[in-house]
Amino acid sequence: MNIIANNVASKLFVAFVAAAMLVMLVAPSAKAATADELQAQITALMAQIAALQGSTDASASAACTFTRSLTDGSEGADVKCLQDSLTPTYFNFAGGSTGYFGSVTKSAVAAWQAANGVAPAVGYFGPVSQAKYNAMMAAAPVVTTPDTDDSDSSDDSSTSLSGEASLKDFQIDTASDDTIEESSNDQEIGVATVEFQNGDARITRMDVRLSGVEKVWNIFDEVAIVVDGDEVARMDASSKGDYINTSGNAGTLRFSSLDLVAVEDEEVEITIIASVNNVDTADLGTYTVAVQSMRFVDGTDVTSTLDSTDDSDITSTVNFTIAVAGGDDEIVVKSSSVNPDGTTLELKNNAKSDWYNVFTFDLDTDDSVNDIELTTVVVHLAFSSSTYATFVDKAELVIDGTTIDSVTASTSGMATDLTFDVDGDVTIDAGDRVAAKLNLQFKSLALGNEGVTVTGSVTAANRALIDAVGADDLATSQLSGAATGDPMTLRTSGVTVEKVSMASAVTTGTNDDDDYATYTLTFKVTAFNQDVYISTSPATAVTYTVEDGSSVATTSATTATFSSTGDEVGSSFEVAEGSAETFTLKVTYDPTVTTSTDARVQLETLIFGSTSGTPTGQTWTASPDTDYRTAVETIVN
């Protein structure tokens, strides 16, 4: 079958001209023609039609010249010629031939391959397809189409070979992931790197050997070769007859008519991919892949064949594992970088609060091969007093931007587990890590509950209740990790505290026993819904510890001063409602021991009240405590 499309427009033009001439011929004329004159006119007309028909046939039968393999992304005059050749039987693109090899062209080539016995019919127009094309066009007039594509996408097969090439290096390495799943397609199983010296080479044949715990023809559907991201060859591997030789569970596939050009001293990376199906539990395990032999032609037109049986340079093999589908799928619960620091949440005593983000954790699918669909996620809440129902009006979990508000609370004592029904509304892409934010809206806060704290977490018990699906339902063993948030303090009035700086320094004395450290802790206090008063004396305004390793230093070894930007009212500093003041606690530590001491200062609490004098009654607790401690200083005595 001639695959060159007829030039429809030209043929219609010829038909039109012929019809017009016939009309002119038979139309009445002023002078009747004799029989001989009429025959002469018919003969002349047929000659003109033949001339016109011959010119269009020559154009229509013009064959393309291909100097490279064509595949997805190729572009140039040769692609356009191929598209014209396939029109209109196979290539029927609205925009006409474009010179770009895309999905439409790939489908057209695949259809032509299937119709003309070219296998595999996958749309890759390489040496096998071109040989078939040339054979079909051998009897037709050929118009050479020059390759005007000078872009980087041109295939190396257009390169002229030079030199007497010999193998410089060959190795086969494991794929980026050496585990593939049952019922998976086009997975990498090995990567061969080839380099030649003393000349260029064109690899024309490769024998790929597979072996494993089961007969490979019962395991593999197809095996293909990919170079620079482009598939260059594919073979059926599901029948014993597809292999040129078999022994035991092993078999060798022969990829012939390759056209892989390796320029001297440049590596060519050849990736072997496979599709795996019909795997039973007994078939799971370790398999190997190797290049058993390789044939190439050099610049002197000499053909050489390297065989692993007599050439140690290509004897390496690599292993890969066929595993149960979803075996690598997992969810790891992790602490989140956007988890909110512990703070005071401003509630109302007569209405519901705003929404507050009280805890954020991450869900990491890590090494998962498949996307993970979430069904259920459970979060733990612990209150320092009373119960969840006393404080919380509504709860929601925002996972990767999707809000889940279908929740069931299960309370035991002051602890509550919140079960969020995700119901497949969130799918985490394989390998991605996403944030899950727990937001709470609080009820009005009763006077007796001022200062109650709430802490969110995902414990081991909560983690085990996560319900998710990858290639299959995730088992408990595929769930790991935990995360805990900072305590959040609930108040209708009081203070919020923000760290400004935590500084430290050592002062060296003139004698061996008079070194000491000075720690300066600076923080900002904001009052809300009340005026706040804090004692001017550090002994009644704050609590702190000097941590020196295994013990806490005695207060006799420390002195402290306390200052503020707030106004002094009697023996207290004032922070007016809605305003902020800065406070500085300076602690001097002089160890009583005669050896070196490593120590730091940790601010624990701030004591305040609503009246001046010696204010008490309300306490702020540092959270997270790591934000309110200094660096460690070494003091030598």
Check if the beta carbon of residue 558 is closer than 8 Å to that of residue 599.
Answer: no
Check if the beta carbon of residue 99 is closer than 8 Å to that of residue 20.
Answer: no
Distance, in Å, from the CA atom of 431 to the CA atom of 314, rounded to the nearest integer, reads: 35
Distance, in Å, from the CA atom of 188 to the CA atom of 185, rounded to the nearest integer, reads: 9
pLDDT of residue 399: 98
The residue with tokens 């062209």 is: 105
Position 423 confidence tier, pLDDT thresholds 50, 70, 90: very high
Six-digit token string for 276: 């795996």
pLDDT of residue 40: 46
pLDDT of residue 267: 93
Question: Which amino acid is present at 92?
Answer: N
pLDDT for residue 587 is more than 50: yes
| pTM, two decimal places | 0.55
> Which of the following CATH numbers is that of domain 331-491: 1.10.287, 3.10.20, 3.30.1120, 2.60.40?
2.60.40
**Residues 624-633: pLDDT tens digits?**
888 999 999 9
Q: In terms of C-beta density within 10 A (0-12 exposed, 13-18 middle, 19 or more buried), how is residue 400 classed?
A: middle
Position 28 confidence tier, pLDDT thresholds 50, 70, 90: very low
Q: 98 in helix, strand or coil?
A: coil
Distance, in Å, from the CA atom of 637 to the CA atom of 193, rounded to the nearest integer, reads: 64
pLDDT of residue 594: 64
The residue with tokens 């393999």 is: 69
The residue with tokens 């709470």 is: 440
**Residues 198-212: pLDDT tens digits?**
999 999 999 999 999
pLDDT of residue 555: 53
Q: Which of 77-86, 405-414, 519-528, 597-606 has the lowest mean pLDDT?
A: 77-86
Distance, in Å, from the CA atom of 432 to the CA atom of 429, rounded to the nearest integer, reads: 5
Q: Which fold has domain 494-635?
A: Immunoglobulin-like (2.60.40)
Q: Which of 251, 154, 147, 159 is nearest to 203 (CA)?
A: 159
Check if the beta carbon of residue 285 is closer than 8 Å to that of residue 321.
Answer: yes
Position 230 confidence tier, pLDDT thresholds 50, 70, 90: confident
Mean pLDDT of 166-182: 87
pLDDT of residue 93: 67
Mean pLDDT of 321-341: 89
Position 131 confidence tier, pLDDT thresholds 50, 70, 90: confident
Distance, in Å, from the CA atom of 471 to the CA atom of 328, rounded to the nearest integer, reads: 9
**Residues 254-300: pLDDT tens digits?**
999 898 999 999 999 999 999 988 777 788 899 999 999 999 999 99
pLDDT of residue 503: 97
pLDDT-above-70 percentage for the chain: 84
Q: Which of 168-182, 249-263, 485-499, 577-591 has the lowest mean pLDDT?
A: 168-182
Which residues are CB-neighbours of 241 under 8 A, at least 6 positions away?
Answer: none
pLDDT of residue 94: 58
**Residues 47-79: pLDDT tens digits?**
444 444 433 333 334 578 888 888 887 888 888
Position 553 confidence tier, pLDDT thresholds 50, 70, 90: low
pLDDT of residue 56: 36
Position 311 confidence tier, pLDDT thresholds 50, 70, 90: low
pLDDT of residue 152: 35
- What is the 8-class DSSP label of residue 386? S
Using CA of residue 422, residue 424, residue 430, residue 434, what is the dihedral sign?
A: negative
pLDDT of residue 279: 79
Six-digit token string for 216: 């490979």
Check if the beta carbon of residue 129 is closer than 8 Å to that of residue 265.
Answer: no
Q: 586 in helix, strand or coil?
A: strand
Q: Find the helix or strand (DSSP H, E) in which 421 lies.
A: strand 415-428
Per the prediction, the chain carries an average pLDDT of: 83
Q: Which of 238-252, 396-410, 547-561, 601-615 has the lowest mean pLDDT?
A: 547-561
CATH number 2.40.50.100 given to 159-323: no
